[in-house]
Structure 1
C-alpha cells in the first residue's frame, strides 16, 4: 500500500451508524455500497450538501456531507 499520501487530501469519518453511498448526488440515484460508523474516506468533490468520497480500495460515490466529520 502507498503510504506517501498527498498532504492536501481531505479525510473524513462516517458519523452515522450506516449510510448508503450513491451513484449520483441526489436521493433518487442508485445505492452503490454501504458504509458504517467510523469508516474513513477521502473527500474528492463537493456539490452543495453532497460530497463525492472514495475509499482506499477504489470504490467511490456520493453521500450527504452531514453524515461525515472531517478528520
Structure 2
C-alpha cells in the first residue's frame, strides 16, 4: 500500500520519464481502497508498455483516446 507522498514522487518521476512519449495524455494520482496509485492516461492500448508498479506504487493505465479541445 502506497501513501500519498510515495504516489506523488512516482508521478513526478513518470512525468519526467514520459515527457516525450507520444501516447501519454495525462498522469495523475488516484485513490485506491487502501492507499494511492499513479494513473497514466493513454491514447491507445498499443501505447501500454508501462510497468504495473514503481517503487511499490501501483500504476494504473487507462486508455482515454485522443483528447481534443472543444469549442
Between Structure 1 and Structure 2, which shows a larger proportion of strand residues?
Answer: 1
Normalised by the length of structure 1, the TM-score is: 0.23
Between Structure 1 and Structure 2, which shows a larger proportion of helix residues?
Answer: 2
Which is higher, the Rg of structure 1 or of structure 2? 2
Q: Which has the higher contact order (CA 8 A, sep 6+)?
A: 1
